[in-house]
Structures are given as structure tokens and as C-alpha cells.
Structure 1
Amino acid sequence: MKNISEKVYCRECNKKTNHSILEQDNSLMHFKVSSSDYKNVDFQFEDNYYIVKCNGCDSISFLREYDDEDQWEHDDDGERYWYSTYTVYPEEPKNKHSLLSQKKMYNVPRFIKDIYEEAVKSYNVDSLILCSVGLRMIIEAVCKEKGIDKEYLVNQDGTKKIDSATGEQKVKNLGLQEKIEKLLISGIITEPQSMVLHQIREMGNVSAHEITRHDEHILRRAIEILESLLFNIYEVSKLELFNRKRLKPKSV
């Protein structure tokens, strides 16, 4: 594989790294457009597009390399040299806010952890609408893992409400608002936590249905709150601060 001459941003490594152009059937995954492709064009340019792979973590990105006759500068000796402009997708964060590091969680179920990681990545690349929706999905995922997603219906006298067509007890699928209340009733979360989860639920609803970006500082706080919640639900019970074997007191 051919290496790119400059380091470009890698979203997984979170820094600029060396990249190589991928190949397919022994051909570079490369597309080029230049002034030579057009008639009667006086301005000279070349626009190259590549599918590239980070040499460090193997993540795949899309890279554009552009240069034209105006892209030149003078070196220390006064000699003119031309340079190329590289743009990678997904793009490097604009540093409007400091990046969040993903918390290490060893006992959080994989499917919940995947959503959490995607939400943090969305925050770090300024995709705040996706981040809001992702945070709401974390709550949905916790409810699913805890078996809180439906409710069996009963009659006023407490007997099962039966579906005449199937002969089975009728089931009602719960909305997220109801699921959060079930988490509270089950003792999985506290009253203050349920109030915050309802706020995150509403934020996700607004982002999804009204295409609204929430303030980055609010989202950052929401991520931190959900990190704490996941830690309390899945990690605390697994902690061992000391060895199980009790140390014998020393005789004085």
C-alpha cells in the first residue's frame, strides 16, 4: 500500500497519524479530477480522493488531497515550493470544546457500552444532535437490559386481561417515560436520578423530532451523569477495594 506523504487526523487515535491508501484488485482506491479533464481551463488544479487506513489502528477514512497553481509559499532560502491541502472525513474536531475521554467500564453490557461510546464520539466531533439521541438510547438500553420494556395488563379485579384472538395475556409496550418510572419503582435508580433521566429523555426527543442542537455544556454534563449512573448500576457491586482475606491484626 502507498503511504500518504503527510500525517492526517484519525478519529480513533484522536491525533494525526500516518495513513496508507487501500487497494482493491491490486489497484489503489483513488479517484482524481484535474484541470486536464476540462477544455479551455486556464487555472491548473488537481483534486485527489482516497480511501485510506490508519497505520496505527487500522480505522478507515475518506481523504481528499487538493492542490492548485496558487498553493505555494517560499522556503527559508527564498525558493518557491508547492503544497497540498488534506481534508479527512470524519473531520478533525474544531476544538470548540475540550474532548471527552471514554470511561473504562468493565461490567456494563456490551450493547449499552457501544451506544455510550458512539455518543461520546459524536460529542467529540461536534455532532451534538446525534449525541443527544445517543444519550436517550442509553436509557432505553438500560431499561431493556433490566427487562423493563413492557407491562402485562390485568382487569380491575386483578385477573389477567386475555387477548381473545390469541388466548394470551395482553401486553402493553411501555414508552420511555413509563420505563424510567419503572426503574425508580424497582429501586434501580433514585428519585433525583429519575428526574435527570426524564430531562435527558426530553432532550433526545427534541433532537430527534425537531432537529435541534442542544448546548454542548449541557450535553457534556448529561454524559457525565449517565457515566455515573452506569457506574452505580453495573460497576459498584463488582468492586473489591480490599482482598477478601482479612488481615490479622498485629499483636502489640
Structure 2
Amino acid sequence: MVEFYRRVARKAVEHHLLIDFHGAFKPTGLRREYPNVLTHEGVMGLEYLKWSARVTPDHNVTIPFTRMLAGPMDYTPGGFNNVTSAEFQPRGREPMTLGTRAHQLALFVVLESGFTMVADYPEDYRGEKVLDFISRVPVAWDETRVLEGEPGKFIAIARRKGNEWYVGCLTGSDARVLQIPLDFLPSGKLFQAEIYSDAPDAAQFPKKTVKQERAVRGTDVLKVEMVTGGGQAIRIFPAASVEGRN
């Protein structure tokens, strides 16, 4: 099987094709020789919630410290049918997702993958304004910083693409408050932050998020409040580009 993957990658290069090895074992460095191999699955991803309750927020704050060390992983984030653990039922049709909507948004930043997707039914995304965040998140990064974390408990990661930064914060089964210094931003420059947070009652209504916009500098510290199974996703971009996007 290992040699088969190599043959596929080599043949794909000849035809200018990109590869996502889904349903595969974890990566072993093949992309160093064949950079057209964007990602591997090799992880217990969101689809497991169709037949089990094993993909929990605690699981999601464990795999960045374990599986992700081997390389990019095609976890297939973006489940929008967010429910509490008491409401959850594994099912193949219109599957449910454990944890909050903001938790799912943050996964697009925390989990590295050169190719990603939104995993849910199209109807679940219709009219959802938070899709604007997902549509902007890059899949290749210029810089990554792990800001804080503990395996199985929580994680906060900042990633840069060009002059924009994205921050993803996740917590497991415990509600949590983090203080995130923005000292990774260039000093003396003004930025704009779009912050997607758990709503105050997201522990009971996991689909609910709150969007906030504010000016930030590298001297600021953001207070990140997450409910049980929650998260926060942040896009930070130069303030000079605010006018250009309106």
C-alpha cells in the first residue's frame, strides 16, 4: 500500500493533479518528495459521529498534539448541526456534531490540511453568515505559532498568511477563559479583528455564535471565553484594508 501511494503521487505529478489521500494511514513524509500530496486522512474525523459519539471536543483538543505531528490531516470539519451531549444521537442522515458552532469554526485554523471542505448538508449552511470566515481561511500558511495548550484540555494556535493572522482556540469538556497576547502582530501597526465567539448561552444552544469587530494592536491581550465544548475563531488583518473590503 505504501508503494501504491508513491506510484499514485508520481503519476499525479505527470498529469498535474493534486491528491487528498482520504481513508488512508497517517502521512509519513511523502509530501516532501511530492508536494502535490496535499493531505491525508489517517484520523478519527467528524464522520465518526454518524455511528458513534467518539469525536468529542476532548478528542479535538487531543489530536493537534498527537496525529497532527505527523503532518496534515483531512478531518473534514465544518459540522453545523451542533448539539449538546444530552441531545446527541449518532445517525447517518443529517448527522449531529458535538461541541459548539464556534468550536467548528476554530478547527479550520487549528487543524492543518492543504485541502479542506465543509462536511455538512448544504441546507445547514444556507444563510449562515459565519461562512464568511470559512471562505477566507487559507489552507497554506507562512507562519504558525502555538500560543497555549494542554493535550486533551485546550489549544490556541495563531497562523499567518501574508499580512493576515488567524487564531483558533478550542476547549474540551471544560468551559475556559484564556488571555491571548497579540504580540505576534508587528509593533506600531493597527489591525482589525473579526472575532467569532460562543454566545453566552452556547452551552445550551451550541449553534449560537457572536461576531465582534474591533481594532487591535500587538500590545493588546484578547480575552477568549469558551463554554463547554466551545471555541473561538479570529481573523486579524491590517486596518488599512477595512475600507477596501466595504
Q: Please confirm whether the aligned pair reaches a TM-score higher than 0.5, indicating the same fold.
A: no
- The structure with more strand, counted as a fraction of residues: 2
- The structure with more helix, counted as a fraction of residues: 1
Using CA pairs below 8 Å that are at least 6 residues apart, which structure has the higher relative contact order? 2
Name the TM-score class by shorter chain.
Answer: under 0.3
TM-score computed with the length of structure 1 as normaliser: 0.22
TM-score computed with the length of structure 2 as normaliser: 0.22
Of structures 1 and 2, the larger Rg is shown by 1
